[in-house]
Amino acid sequence: MEWITIIGLMAGSLTTISFLPQAIKTWRSKSAKDISLAMFLCFCLGVVLWIIYGLFIMDIPVLVTNIVTLILAGTILFFKLKYK
């Protein structure tokens, strides 16, 4: 694996993992009142576009990290809608 791919995977992993504490906190507290619905809708749409982009250029770090990010951010978005 090339060093630039490793850097991409590390960067994507760190930014992806940053959503985990929020997802856990929202799940445990059953509250998402302080989370912006508009922000998470825009963010999830942007991540979907990154995934499409990653498919076109066949870039593993872009694909893998954004798929995991979409799962985590999508979970937070789901909680936002569920715990209104």
Q: Residue 70 is part of a domain; what is its CATH number?
A: 1.20.1280.290
Residue 83 has pLDDT above 90, yes or no: no
Number of domains in the chain: 1
- Mean pLDDT, residues 57-73 taken together: 93
Q: Which residue bears the tokens 């498919």?
A: 55
Residue 10 has which token pair? 């590390």
CB 44 within 8 A of CB 18: no
**CA torsion angle 10 13 59 43 (round to 10):** -140
Q: For 2-29, write each residue's pLDDT tens digit.
A: 898 889 889 988 998 998 999 999 999 9
Q: What is the span of the domain harbouring residue 60?
A: 3-82
